Amino acid sequence: MTSTKFNLLPGRSVWQSAVLLAVGFWLSGSLLLDLVVMPAMYASGMMTQPGFASAGYSMFWVFNRLGLLCVAIAFVGLLSLLRQHKVAGWAIAAVWLLLGVTFVLTYVMTPVMSGLAMPLNWLTSEASIPGSMAQMHGIYWVLELVKLGLSAALLVAVGRRFLGERLEAGR
């Protein structure tokens, strides 16, 4: 019985490809959400609409679960690469931190921010953003910057490491 390996990035191991693709997908999705989707919603006034809290919660629910899946793939891939001595130990610490940040964003920040944004007084026609939401946005952006920085560092480290291996193999 023979097994066929499917690898989207030839010249790399399956785990190298999995880590690069999962972290790259997650990083690009985060940048798209943070730099395009959310500013467009804010500029169009959607954040003051009564249904925005539930729509935002649904959008972040899906995105955060995809983030958990991506960080899990990266974690398993990096453990496999560590066992093969193909990745530095700091990468495991970085992916642990990414896992923690993702859990906080998924199970703390999103529910709390959605709860703060829910309109509880239906008798008033004026929708406003609560004052405590600014503090939550600050915490969100700090966590998001940590996530983006660690993701980029992992991409550079894993990509550079394996680019170096390909160059050495070609000599």
pLDDT at 83: 85
47-58 confidence digits (pLDDT tens): 777 778 888 889
The CB-side HSE value for 25 (13 A sphere, CA atoms) comes to: 16
**Token pair for residue 84?**
């093969």
9-26 confidence digits (pLDDT tens): 666 688 888 999 999 999
Give which of 50, 58, 46 is closest to 122, Cα–Cα.
Answer: 50
pLDDT at 27: 95
Give domain limits for the chain. Answer: 14-34+47-118+131-164
Percentage of the chain beyond pLDDT 70 is 80
pLDDT at 171 over 60: no
pLDDT at 30: 95
59-98 confidence digits (pLDDT tens): 999 999 999 999 999 999 999 988 887 788 899 999 999 9
CA-to-CA separations, 149 to 34, 137, 144, in angstroms, rounded:
14, 18, 8
DSSP calls for 2-70: ------SSTTS-HHHHHHHHHHHHHHHHHHHIIIIIHHHHHHTTGGGSTTHHHHHHHHHHHHHHHHHHH
